[in-house]
């Protein structure tokens, strides 16, 4: 099969329009909550890393806002062999890096090989599939060969991890690549990074190869972008209200109603965000080893009340582990989802032998039901406390151990808890399931210790499927399986919401890996 | 200037002129029972009254609370009753989880005061013991005091962070950290006081009649130094409460759903713009407790410390 690039409607017009824009003060400040550990594409899995890497570099293919349409980017077209093992990418010959050097197929192959290289220690190498080889045939052709089909390959290659960077700059900077400097082909170029304060990017003047989901293929319509970190949630709201920042995808839920009421601010929302917050069960632990207990906990928690009271109705209460809008979500799951029903929860606990004792707590064989959850401080702690209060009503005494995020990641890789908290972005059901439910991914990200040979097999079947029906069928079975076992307590699906100043032209929010502004080509001042 | 000149001579005249009588008049009320003198000081009286009310509230929290402090409700961020949208059911309002702030305040004060008392008790006991020993025995004096100098260079917050990392979150590491950080100050003050006592003639006399070191230490030194040391420890109380609340604010203290005043203030921080009462109310209580403790401590020193009565 051959995929040809979509006609870039109005490409020329848009480019001409962009160039004709008046050169007013075109400096944009984006308010964000936290920094990334560094900005080296294959080595950072932070959302805060991805959102800047997308702006500074390009991937071989792009993804449209609908999270389903693959757009040509550095590759103008591609062929996939009938056995789905060989992808041949035609690489554009008119692309240059920020330092002016032309980009070739060689750079593409080198960047992807670096992602794959065990020495890079990329935590997301599995996203590339079972790679046989990635080679540059000539200056404009890259051949990506697999040992087994990987049905999501193009989606994965659109992620920030596969961003194409300049080999020379990387070799010159070594470990400091993405720390003291960066050289990519993106719409913006690295100017400076002050850790935990800000990242400053300047416009890549030569850029005109933006993906077709944007009217403006380049160059960017603002000259400078500053990603300013403001750790306090309330301060971010104020910064936006007072014009100290122009855009923020990190407004606290409580702030949105204020922003919407403000004449100077608009809020856009996208339901295709595919970001789910959940609490997982360490199913190998005694207290939560029984599926009935896990189901009871699911039934005892009132996600709807939490969505309204804790998150001010800005989120969608979650009962499934993957948002229903995501690719390969199986709607037959809808009827079996565990929704708020404390009476059934109590009955299940009784059935499982956890009887209410004289203190009103659940007890079995002299042991009290007091599972421990670890949690991040901040919003997650509030969430845990709400879950704690709900569980108390059925006699479960949830213990909460809040910790700083720097401690949390390490702790969550241990066996020292019954429950943990996590929020994660995904592009499809398959992406989510492969990430969490492969037994090979124990202890992280499979913190549940979910080890099931059939799941493993189905996940392989799904990811190696060469047609959409087989893939969807395999993933649907896994979905049913893990939901039946209640290995998670889903809390909410978070929409992508971005508050922005009315000085900016309206735009559509993106959702890839939680990076709502994606390449930033749409950002423009109207005044 | 002109005003004072009229006053000062009159008193100096009085005390200098008719020597015997006036000095009698002045010292007589000073000799009155210290408790009565304390209560005569209006600020001290108010401070003590406030502290007593807070302590009683903390002790009888289960009876005074109108709601279960851990139980949430659907009415979140209700403002206090006297504000618009307030509800009589929650007269101080509810927090972000819909929990009754008044009830949480009572239980919070309980934990906050408990942390303060335990930490000050721990630090005060070991600190004064070390200080007294140091003054009593010149051989171990430099060893103890140099150890105190090392401890002094350790900030309480850093120590608490390290302890929490090792022991896990809870009030025990906080009490230990605060206690340890109180030790050097208490030791120094106790040593200073004890050195003064050691120079007194009755110590010499005690030695002369052949008292053992233990007896000398117990009967002569401790008993004569203890009241001054206690005053210092009481002054330390307010400060300890404040650091304890700070640590809880940083998320190092009590585990949820337990409430602690610093933790309550911290939980309200995210809503400061929209529902300020969640953070402000516990902060006010911390302020009141610390202020009262300090004023009461000062007053206590004024009436009890023999050195200030000269």
Q: Contact A309/B98, CB-based, under 8 Å? A: yes
Report the C-alpha gap between B259 and B111 in whole angstroms. 7
Q: Is the CB of residue A464 less than 8 Å from the CB of residue A362?
A: no
Ranges A448-462, B5-19, B134-148, B194-208: which has the least confidence: B5-19
Tell me how far CA of residue A76 lies from CA of A97, A112, A143, A473, in angstroms: 17, 17, 14, 31
Average pLDDT over residues A49-60: 96
User: How close A489 gets to chain B, by Cα (Å)?
Assistant: 19
pLDDT top residue among A41 and A5: A41
Give the tokens for residue B267: 């939980």
Report the C-alpha gap between B231 and B178 in whole angstroms. 18
A394 touching B (Cβ < 8 Å): no
Residues in chain B within 8 Å Cβ distance of A310: 76, 96-97
Percent of chain A predicted with pLDDT > 70: 95
- Tell me which DSSP letter residue B90 carries: B
Report the C-alpha gap between A338 and A489 in whole angstroms. 9
Instruction: Find the closest chain B residue to A380 by CA distance.
Output: B267
- Reduce the DSSP state of residue B188 to 3 states and report it: helix
DSSP string, A316-361: EE-SSSS-TTSBT--GGGGGG-----HHHHHHHHHHTT-EE-TTS-
Average pLDDT over residues A38-62: 94
Phi/psi at A499 (5° precision)? -95, 135
Q: Which helix (H) or strand (E) holds A496?
A: strand A496-501
Instruction: Find the closest chain B residue to A255 by CA distance.
Output: B274
Tell me how far CA of residue A414 lies from CA of A407, A417, A446, B203, B276, in angstroms: 12, 8, 11, 61, 38
Model confidence at A25, pLDDT cuts 50, 70, 90, reads low
Model confidence at B17, pLDDT cuts 50, 70, 90, reads very low
pLDDT top residue among B222 and A23: B222
Please state at what angle helix B2-17 crosses helix B19-30, rounded to 10 degrees.
100
| A381-424 confidence digits (pLDDT tens) | 889 999 999 999 999 999 998 887 767 888 888 999 999 999 99
Model confidence at B308, pLDDT cuts 50, 70, 90, reads low
- Tell me which DSSP letter residue A482 carries: H
Residue A89 has pLDDT above 70, yes or no: yes
DSSP string, A434-463: HHHH-GGGTTTT-TT----HHHHHHHHHHH
CA A353 to chain centre: 40
For residue B273, give the nearest of A237, A379, A388 by CB distance.
Answer: A237
Phi/psi at B302 (5° precision)? -55, -40
What are the residues whose beta carbons fall under 8 Å from the beta carbon of A409, sequence distance 6 or more?
A: none
Residue A23 has pLDDT above 50, yes or no: no
Of A488, A434, A405, residue with least CA distance to A35? A405
CB contacts < 8 A (A, B): 68
pLDDT at B24: 45
User: How close B121 gets to chain A, by Cα (Å)?
Assistant: 27
Of A19, A13, A89, residue with least CA distance to A58? A89
Tell me how far CA of residue A12 lies from CA of A9, A74, A194, A519, A525, in angstroms: 8, 18, 37, 19, 20
Instruction: Count CB-CB contacts under 10 A for residue B280.
Output: 14
Give the tokens for residue B248: 């809880």
Report the C-alpha gap between B20 and A312 in whole angstroms. 77
pLDDT at B266: 86
**Using CB atoms within 10 A of its CB, is residue B302 exposed (0-12), middle (13-18) or buried (19+)?**
middle
pLDDT at A481: 95
Q: Is the CB of residue A216 less than 8 Å from the CB of residue A210?
A: yes
Residues 263-282 of chain B whose Cβ lies under 8 A from any Cβ of chain A = 267, 269-274
Ranges A68-77, A168-177, A206-215, A439-448: which has the least confidence: A439-448
Tell me how far CA of residue A510 lies from CA of A209, A268, A290, A318, A498, in angstroms: 18, 10, 40, 21, 10
Give the tokens for residue A389: 């209060």
Sign, CA dihedral B266-A372-B58-B184, equals negative
| A147-179 confidence digits (pLDDT tens) | 999 988 999 999 999 999 999 999 999 999 999
Instruction: Find the closest chain B residue to A377 by CA distance.
Output: B251
Instruction: Count CB-CB contacts under 10 A for residue A117.
Output: 12
Residue A5 has pLDDT above 60, yes or no: no
Residues in chain A within 8 Å Cβ distance of B256: 381, 384-385, 388, 400, 402
Of A163, A211, A184, A220, residue with least CA distance to A63? A211
Of A132, A142, A152, A138, residue with least CA distance to A85? A132
User: How close B128 gets to chain A, by Cα (Å)?
Assistant: 35
Q: Is the CB of residue A366 less than 8 Å from the CB of residue B251?
A: no
Instruction: Find the closest chain A residue to B77 by CA distance.
Output: A309
Q: Contact A310/B97, CB-based, under 8 Å? A: yes
Of B60, B52, B175, B186, residue with least CA distance to B114? B175
Model confidence at B310, pLDDT cuts 50, 70, 90, reads very low
| B91-116 confidence digits (pLDDT tens) | 999 998 899 999 999 999 999 999 99
Of B83, B69, B54, residue with least CA distance to B276? B83
N-term to C-term CA, chain B: 26
| A277-306 confidence digits (pLDDT tens) | 999 999 999 999 999 999 999 999 999 999
Residues 295-334 of chain A whose Cβ lies under 8 A from any Cβ of chain B = 305, 309-310
A234 touching B (Cβ < 8 Å): yes
Alpha helices in A465-505 (DSSP H): 468-484
A401 touching B (Cβ < 8 Å): yes
Q: Contact A309/B165, CB-based, under 8 Å? A: no
pLDDT at B219: 84
Phi/psi at A31 (5° precision)? -95, 125
Residues in chain B within 8 Å Cβ distance of A404: 251
Tell me how far CA of residue B71 lies from CA of A157, A210, A313, B302, in angstroms: 47, 53, 21, 45
Instruction: Count CB-CB contacts under 10 A for residue A316.
Output: 20
pTM of the full structure: 0.79
Report the C-alpha gap between A362 and A354 in whole angstroms. 5
- Tell me which DSSP letter residue A31 carries: E
Q: Look-up: residue for tokens 């990987």? A: A150
Give the tokens for residue A374: 């670890």
Length of chain A: 527
Q: Contact A400/B257, CB-based, under 8 Å? A: yes
Report the C-alpha gap between B154 and A298 in whole angstroms. 46
Instruction: Find the closest chain A residue to B98 by CA distance.
Output: A309
Model confidence at A254, pLDDT cuts 50, 70, 90, reads confident
Report the C-alpha gap between A42 and A163 in whole angstroms. 8
Give the tokens for residue A448: 């549940």
User: How close B30 gets to chain A, by Cα (Å)?
Assistant: 54
Residues in chain A within 8 Å Cβ distance of B94: none
Average pLDDT over residues A462-479: 92
| A341-382 confidence digits (pLDDT tens) | 999 999 999 999 999 999 899 999 999 999 999 998 878 988
Average pLDDT over residues A94-113: 96
Model confidence at A317, pLDDT cuts 50, 70, 90, reads very high
Q: Contact B256/A381, CB-based, under 8 Å? A: yes
pLDDT top residue among B285 and A376: B285
Residues in chain A within 8 Å Cβ distance of B257: 385, 388-389, 400
Model confidence at B32, pLDDT cuts 50, 70, 90, reads low
Q: Contact A255/B274, CB-based, under 8 Å? A: yes
pLDDT at B71: 84
Average pLDDT over residues A501-519: 94
Report the C-alpha gap between B254 and B269 in whole angstroms. 17
What is the average pLDDT value for chain B, to the nearest integer? 84
Determine how β-strand A86-91 pairs with β-strand A141-146.
antiparallel
A233 touching B (Cβ < 8 Å): yes
Residues in chain B within 8 Å Cβ distance of A370: none
Q: Contact A310/B76, CB-based, under 8 Å? A: yes
What would you report as the CA-atom Rg of chain B, rounded to the nearest whole angstrom?
24
For residue A238, give the nearest of B169, B251, B273 by CB distance.
Answer: B273
Model confidence at B304, pLDDT cuts 50, 70, 90, reads confident
pLDDT at A10: 42
Of B59, B115, B91, residue with least CA distance to B263? B115
**Using CB atoms within 10 A of its CB, is residue A337 exposed (0-12), middle (13-18) or buried (19+)?**
middle
Length of chain B: 310
B97 touching A (Cβ < 8 Å): yes
Q: CA triplet B109, A370, B97: central angle to 5 degrees? A: 45
Tell me how far CA of residue A487 lies from CA of A338, A372, A410, A437, in angstroms: 12, 15, 21, 10
Report the C-alpha gap between A312 and A257 in whole angstroms. 9
CA atoms within 13 A on the CB side of A157: 28
Q: CA triplet A351, A352, A356: central angle to 5 degrees? A: 80
Residue B158 has pLDDT above 90, yes or no: no
Q: Look-up: residue for tokens 């003064």? A: B196
Instruction: Find the closest chain A residue to B75 by CA distance.
Output: A309
Q: Is the CB of residue B66 less than 8 Å from the CB of residue A358?
A: no
Q: Is the CB of residue A371 less than 8 Å from the CB of residue A398?
A: yes
Average pLDDT over residues B29-57: 83
Give the tokens for residue A19: 């160039």
| A197-212 confidence digits (pLDDT tens) | 999 999 999 999 999 9
B257 touching A (Cβ < 8 Å): yes
Average pLDDT over residues B209-213: 89
């Amino acid at each position: 099969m051959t995929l040809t690039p979509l006609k870039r409607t109005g490409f020329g017009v848009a480019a001409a329009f962009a160039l004709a824009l008046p050169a007013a003060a075109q400096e944009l400040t984006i308010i964000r909550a936290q920094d990334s550990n560094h900005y080296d594409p294959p080595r950072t899995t932070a959302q805060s890393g991805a959102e800047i890497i997308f702006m500074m570099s390009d991937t071989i293919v792009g993804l449209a806002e609908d999270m389903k349409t693959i757009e040509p980017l550095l590759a103008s077209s591609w062929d996939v062999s009938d056995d789905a093992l060989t992808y041949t990418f035609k690489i554009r010959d008119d692309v240059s890096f920020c330092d002016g050097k032309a980009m070739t197929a060689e750079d593409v192959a080198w960047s992807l090989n670096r992602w794959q290289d065990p020495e890079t220690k990329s935590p997301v190498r599995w996203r590339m599939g079972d790679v046989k080889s990635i080679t540059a045939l000539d200056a404009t052709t890259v051949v990506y060969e697999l040992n087994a089909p990987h049905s999501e390959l193009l989606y994965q290659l659109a992620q920030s991890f596969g961003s194409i960077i300049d080999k020379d700059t990387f070799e010159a900077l070594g470990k400091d690549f993405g720390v003291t400097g960066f050289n990519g082909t993106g719409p913006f170029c690295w100017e400076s990074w002050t850790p935990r304060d800000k990242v400053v990017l300047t416009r890549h003047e030569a850029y005109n190869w933006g993906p077709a989901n944007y009217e403006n293929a380049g160059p960017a319509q603002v000259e400078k972008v500053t990603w300013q970190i403001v750790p306090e949630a309330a301060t971010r709201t104020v910064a936006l209200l007072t014009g100290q920042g122009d855009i923020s995808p990190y407004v606290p839920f409580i702030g949105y109603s204020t922003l919407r009421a403000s004449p100077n601010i608009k809020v856009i929302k996208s339901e295709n965000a595919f970001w789910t917050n959940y609490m997982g069960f360490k199913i190998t632990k005694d207290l939560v080893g029984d599926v009935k207990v896990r189901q009871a906990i699911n039934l005892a928690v009132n996600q709807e009340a939490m969505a309204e009271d804790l998150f001010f109705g800005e989120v969608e209460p979650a009962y499934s582990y993957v948002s229903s809008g995501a690719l390969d979500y199986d709607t037959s799951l809808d009827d079996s989802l565990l929704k708020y029903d404390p009476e059934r929860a109590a009955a299940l606990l009784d059935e499982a032998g956890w009887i209410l004792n004289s203190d009103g707590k659940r007890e079995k064989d002299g042991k009290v039901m007091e599972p421990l959850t670890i949690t991040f401080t901040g919003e997650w702690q509030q969430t845990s406390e709400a879950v704690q209060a709900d569980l108390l009503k059925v006699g479960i005494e949830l213990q909460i151990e809040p910790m700083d995020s720097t401690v949390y990641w390490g702790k969550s890789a241990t066996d020292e808890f019954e429950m943990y908290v996590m929020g994660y972005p995904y592009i499809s059901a398959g992406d989510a399931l492969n990430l969490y439910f492969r037994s090979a991914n124990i202890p992280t990200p499979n913190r549940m210790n979910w080890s099931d040979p059939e799941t493993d097999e189905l996940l392989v079947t799904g990811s190696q499927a060469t047609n959409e029906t087989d893939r969807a069928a395999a993933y649907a079975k896994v979905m049913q399986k893990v939901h039946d076992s209640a290995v998670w307590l889903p809390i909410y699906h978070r929409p992508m919401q971005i508050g922005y100043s009315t000085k900016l032209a309206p735009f559509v929010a993106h959702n890839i890996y939680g990076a709502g502004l994606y390449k930033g080509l749409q950002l423009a001042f109207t005044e | 200037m002109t005003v004072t000149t009229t006053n000062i001579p009159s008193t100096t005249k009085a005390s200098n002129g008719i020597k015997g009588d006036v000095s009698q008049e002045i010292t007589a009320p000073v000799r009155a029972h210290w408790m009565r003198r304390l209560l005569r000081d209006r600020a001290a009286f108010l401070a003590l009254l406030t502290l007593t009310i807070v302590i009683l509230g903390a002790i009888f929290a289960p009876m005074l609370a109108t709601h279960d402090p851990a139980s949430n409700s659907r009415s979140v961020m209700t403002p206090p009753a006297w504000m618009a949208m307030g509800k009589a059911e929650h007269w101080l309002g509810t927090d972000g989880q819909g929990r009754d702030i008044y009830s949480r305040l009572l239980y919070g004060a309980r934990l906050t005061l408990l942390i303060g008392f335990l930490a000050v008790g721990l630090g005060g006991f070991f600190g004064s013991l070390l200080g007294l020993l140091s003054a009593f025995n010149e051989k171990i004096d430099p060893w103890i005091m140099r150890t105190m100098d090392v401890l002094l260079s350790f900030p309480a917050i850093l120590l608490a962070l390290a302890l929490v990392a090792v022991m896990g979150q809870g009030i025990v590491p906080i009490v230990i950290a605060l206690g340890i950080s109180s030790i050097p100050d208490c030791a120094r003050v106790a040593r200073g006081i004890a050195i003064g006592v050691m120079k007194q003639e009755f110590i010499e006399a005690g030695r002369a009649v052949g008292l053992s070191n233990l007896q000398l230490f117990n009967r002569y030194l401790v008993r004569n130094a203890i009241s001054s040391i206690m005053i210092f420890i009481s002054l330390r109380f307010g400060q300890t409460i404040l650091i304890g609340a700070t640590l809880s604010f940083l998320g190092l203290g009590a585990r949820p759903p337990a409430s602690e005043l610093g933790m309550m203030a911290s939980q309200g921080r995210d809503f400061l713009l929209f529902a300020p009462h969640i953070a402000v109310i516990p902060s006010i209580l911390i302020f009141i407790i610390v202020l009262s403790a300090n004023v009461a401590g000062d007053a206590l020193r004024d009436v009890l410390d023999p050195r200030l009565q000269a």
